[in-house]
Amino acid sequence: MSASLQTHLKILLVGLLAASSVSAEEPRALISEAAAAAEAVTDQRQRAWAFGVVSEAQAKTGDRVGALKTLKPVLDAAEALPKTEPRRGEVLMVLSRFLATAGDSAGALRTLDGFASPKDVATPMYYVSAAQTDAKDFEGAGKTAEKNADPAWTDLAYYHMAHKQAKDGDKDGALRSAEKILGHHKAGALGFVAKYLGDGGDKAGARDIAAAGLKLAKDLKNASDRESALAAVIMGQASSGQIAIALETVELLERPRSRMQVLLSVAQAQWEEGDGGGAEKTLSVAVRLARDEREVFQRLSVMGKAAIQLAEGGREDLSKKLLADVMAPAQAMPDGLLKCSIFSDIAKLQQLLGDERAAEVASRQALNSLASEPLGVKVDWIRDAAKNLSLFRGSTGAVAWSREQKDPAAKAAGLAGAVIGEAESGTGSVPKPKAPAKLEAKVEFSEPSGNGFLDAGEKAEIAVTVANKGPGPAYAVRVLPKTGDLAGLLLTNASAIGKVEPGQSVTKSISLAATDEVSSRKAVFSIEVKEGNGFDAPRVDLEFETRAFRAPKLEVAGISLGGGG
């Protein structure tokens, strides 16, 4: 992989770590700052990547015209190079992807014309079709896929289409795309279609599709292809509510690595069905397999994700034990994307466990591990790691890190990526309503004993009801717990609500657990409700009493001495 691509992948991940903390007014300023940094990049390939990510940020925030204007000078400079110049082709292939993202698929395909071998452009042509799919131009994506000279990339293009259509609930479209796959990816595509349909509530349809995928997967001769397809089918079975069948199918997997990874998906489905005990048991099997895994990243990834599920399910004690087992080997990993991915999981986990300071440190470690990224890695891994942090951490850290970088390409792509992360998290580029929203929040506190105290070892529920009493819709609504002195308490993180229509009310629950170390005192914290256009609800303060652990008082009721004679 070229050095410029490695640089791009590294700095794109940094930027994608951004999320909900960037306000609706900030993206334009960040994009301008990123463009200024990109202007200082002298290497032509890195310059293409830097301006490409800037244009992607513009496109993601709705400024497609601006995105194309950003790309034009770099595109003109590349096309002016002699056709014998190797960098000309490399830069044009890079720019084709960003042209498609900006909405100019025809222009993207034109940049790929004239190459000596159609095979040379098979990969960038796939990215063009993927961009068309993401824009829901399925007809155009299909035409681009059919032009691809590499059948494997054609199959992957239809695979991507099937994913997208299934996520959108388009069962028929997803099945049509899956049917166009000629190779081994068809079985896996059906598995993922089943998963997304099951997630969307179509359990019956998901079961039928998973069964079809299972039949195809079993017939695959190549062991690696079969394992991959079976893993996707198992996810579809679990999402369709067939937990027992999914666990039976797990037994068909020959590699422990495949088993431990897919068991995470089965456990997640069990949590969603309310079977916490079953999920915990499934996770214990996954962790046991992980402990025997030699490859450090695979081992820590499964253990970290299992710990996250346990924390989300209220099993904080088990989650903390796994965290302790993960930390030391994670610290010993060499810098790079894999280490960043592990520390992204650690940051999310520590945030779930209520340790904000430790979560911030872990986020910083994730970012710092990219400074000397030596590996060429897949873009989907980059986006997975980015989303893991962006969901729970704001963009502030990513922006600050980017501004510290001496490499202008890193700075440009990091800042632009902060905007991309915000947009992909659902909080960027919110629509502007014709009438304002007016949000009000109501908070109800309940604890299990009913004595009015949150006792050590108890878990309380805080129900936050957000009502929109204004004439206009509210967008990108988020519930943000603002902690005060919460020593001995574990509070879950922010919760996204999304759009709230006029007259609508939405309730989100926040868990608050008291550890055995909690003291007897008055606890105070606040709930903030933020809206994408600034129509925030007034802050709500919450006070309650906590009570320390009290050892049972034992008394001797009496002594009886017995004996004969």
Helix axis angle, 379-390 to 337-352, nearest 10°: 20
pLDDT score of 23: 41
Which tokens belong to 337? 């994307």
Task: State the Cα–Cα distance between residues 418 and 544, nearest whole angstrom.
Answer: 38
Interior CA angle at 94 toward 89 and 95, to 5°?
Answer: 100
Write the CB contacts of 261 (distance below 8 Å, at least 6 apart in sequence): 231, 286, 298, 302
Please, what is the average pLDDT of the chain?
A: 80
pLDDT score of 64: 87
Mean pLDDT confidence for 53-68: 87
pLDDT score of 383: 33
Mean pLDDT confidence for 210-230: 93
pLDDT score of 112: 84
- Answer whether residue 292 shows pLDDT above 90: yes
Task: State the Cα–Cα distance between residues 24 and 80, nearest whole angstrom.
Answer: 38
pLDDT score of 393: 54
Mean pLDDT confidence for 45-67: 86
Residue 144: pLDDT band with limits 50, 70, 90: very high
* CB 520, CB 495: distance < 8 Å: no
Which tokens belong to 143? 């035409």
Bridge partner list, 453: 545
Task: State the Cα–Cα distance between residues 405 and 409, nearest whole angstrom.
Answer: 9
pLDDT score of 565: 45
Q: Answer yes or no: pTM beyond 0.85.
A: no
Which tokens belong to 129? 């079709």
Place of tokens 């253990």: 303
Question: For 305-333, what is each residue's pLDDT tens digit?
Answer: 999 989 877 788 899 999 999 999 999 99
Question: For 341-395, what is each residue's pLDDT tens digit?
Answer: 899 899 888 877 877 788 878 887 887 787 665 333 322 333 333 334 544 455 5
pLDDT score of 382: 31
pLDDT score of 48: 84
pLDDT score of 553: 57
Which tokens belong to 192? 């993922």
Place of tokens 């105070």: 524
Most confidently modeled range among 22-26, 30-34, 48-52, 451-455: 30-34
Helix axis angle, 64-79 to 44-60, nearest 10°: 160
% of residues, the chain, pLDDT over 70? 82
Q: Lowest mean pLDDT: which of 100-109, 457-466, 475-484, 504-513? A: 475-484
Q: Where are the alpha helices (DSSP H) in 223-315?
A: 223-239, 243-250, 256-272, 276-291, 296-312
- Answer whether residue 427 shows pLDDT above 80: no
Residue predicted with more confidence, 514 or 35: 35
- Answer whether residue 516 shows pLDDT above 80: no
Q: Is 462 helix (H, G, I), strand (E, B) or coil?
A: strand
pLDDT score of 487: 61
* CB 382, CB 341: distance < 8 Å: no
Residue 271: pLDDT band with limits 50, 70, 90: confident
* CB 394, CB 367: distance < 8 Å: no
pLDDT score of 558: 56
Mean pLDDT confidence for 524-549: 82
Mean pLDDT confidence for 181-207: 89
Mean pLDDT confidence for 45-55: 84
pLDDT score of 175: 93
- Answer whether residue 57 shows pLDDT above 90: no
Distance of CA 375 to the CA centre of its chain: 21
Q: What is the largest CA-CA distance in the chain?
A: 117
Q: Is 407 helix (H, G, I), strand (E, B) or coil?
A: coil
Distances from the Cα of 239 to the Cα of 45, 169, 200, 218, 418, angstroms: 43, 14, 9, 20, 32
Residue 121: pLDDT band with limits 50, 70, 90: confident
pLDDT score of 103: 87
Cβ atoms < 10 Å from Cβ of 556: 5
Which is nearest to 177 in space by CA: 160, 192, 200? 160
Question: For 156-193, what is each residue's pLDDT tens digit?
Answer: 999 999 989 988 888 899 999 999 999 889 999 999 89
* CB 471, CB 485: distance < 8 Å: no
Residue predicted with more confidence, 196 or 499: 196
Question: For 231-265, what is each residue's pLDDT tens digit?
Answer: 999 999 999 999 999 999 999 999 999 999 999 99
